[in-house]
Amino acid sequence: MPREVPLHGVYLPSLTLLFLLAFLLGWGLDRLFARFGLYRHAWHPALLRVALFTCLYCALALTIYR
């Protein structure tokens, strides 16, 4: 994957697209966790959401910058 992606004449870093993809994946997993009541077992659900997003974003970024 190229490190810069053209979008209407503006070059964006590919990490921007990965940020959006991680956001969508995190949102989907968040809905899944909420549906099955997994947040009852978390000490701080908001912290778990941030950690989930961070792990997804870093894992996706490693696919490019490895």
* Interval 20-57: pLDDT, tens: 999 999 999 999 999 999 989 999 999 999 999 999 99
Q: Is residue 46 part of a domain?
A: yes
60 belongs to a structural domain: yes
Residue 45 located in a structural domain: yes
Instruction: Of 53, 49, 50, give the one whose Cα is nearest residue 33.
Output: 49
Residue 3 inside a domain? The answer is no
Domain count, the chain: 1
Q: Is the pLDDT of residue 2 over 80?
A: no
65: which 2 tokens? 């910058």
Taken in order 13, 19, 20, 22, the sign of the CA dihedral is: positive
Q: What is the pTM of this model?
A: 0.80
- Domain range enclosing 31: 13-64
> Is residue 1 scored above 70 in pLDDT?
no
User: Per the domain annotation, does 6 fall within a domain?
Assistant: no
